[in-house]
């Protein structure tokens, strides 16, 4: 079974699931709360359970002080000083509770910026396992997911975005990015739903 959008066919053992920033930080009522996350979490859980050993979970970890990051990141945390690590409850940085046990069977990586590829361990992990495709879920469609996708495209990976397992705090830009992925990036990015992924990921 394939989807019309999955022109490259079934996903194989060389595919991994990259789950971006599904943390308490975005699930709970913080200034960075993503209302969609609670709605898409069941889909993310289902994808995560398909091949737990092939999961890669990322966590967005703010610096302790704004001065630890360069340039406009300092301005960023001047806007949200309450989100600096020294001011956050530690549990907010953790993955959401329903994913913690699953995550223990795969890999969890921390990152201080939007792209998970900023952590060199990610690309090394993928290359060592001959991964050629990434199934992407998480938040936010138009920020960290976007950065992950563009970085992965630059490295030559096949990207499959799980439409019902992505979310943003902005419906407008979420929809705009799905349109971008489906049109301007259609040669390198495919879109499918959770049901399709479950049926074709070997």
Strand ranges of the sheet holding 158-167, from the earlier edge strand across to the other edge: 107-111, 55-60, 15-20, 133-139, 158-167, 189-192
pLDDT for 5 equals 57
Label residue 99 by pLDDT band (50, 70, 90): very high
pLDDT for 8 equals 85
Domain boundaries, the chain: 15-64+94-200
Residue whose tokens read 């992950």 = 148
What the block records as the tokens of 131 is 């991964």
pLDDT for 164 equals 98
pTM for the predicted model, two decimal places:
0.96
The mean pLDDT of 65-91, rounded to a whole number, is 97
Find all residues with CB under 8 Å of 24, minimum gap 6, and list them. Answer: 91, 92, 93, 94, 95, 96
pLDDT in tens, 178-193: 999 999 999 999 999 9
pLDDT greater than 90 at residue 2: no
CATH number of 15-64+94-200: 3.40.50.850
What the block records as the tokens of 184 is 């301007």
What the block records as the tokens of 125 is 């992990």
Q: What percent of the chain has pLDDT over 70?
A: 98
pLDDT for 1 equals 35
Nearest in space to 198 (alpha carbons), one of 15, 38, 7: 15
Label residue 47 by pLDDT band (50, 70, 90): very high
């Amino acid at each position: 079974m394939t989807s019309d959008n999955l022109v490259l066919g079934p996903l194989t053992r060389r595919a991994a699931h990259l789950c971006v920033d599904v943390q308490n930080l975005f699930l709970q009522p913080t200034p960075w709360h993503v209302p969609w996350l609670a709605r898409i979490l069941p889909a993310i859980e289902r994808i995560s359970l398909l091949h737990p050993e092939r999961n890669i979970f990322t966590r967005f970890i703010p610096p302790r002080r704004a001065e630890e990051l360069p340039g406009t990141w300092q301005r960023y945390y001047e806007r949200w000083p309450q989100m600096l690590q020294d001011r956050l409850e530690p549990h907010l940085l953790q993955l959401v509770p329903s994913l913690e046990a699953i995550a223990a069977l795969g890999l969890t990586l921390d990152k201080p910026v939007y792209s998970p590829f900023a952590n060199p361990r990610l690309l090394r992990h993928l290359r060592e396992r001959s991964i050629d495709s990434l199934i992407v879920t998480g938040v936010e469609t138009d920020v960290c997911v976007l950065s992950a996708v563009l970085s992965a495209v630059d490295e030559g990976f096949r990207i499959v975005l799980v439409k019902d397992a992505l979310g943003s705090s902005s419906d407008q830009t979420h929809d705009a990015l799905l349109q971008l992925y489906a049109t301007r990036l259609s040669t390198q990015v495919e879109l499918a739903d959770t049901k399709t992924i479950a049926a074709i990921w070997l």
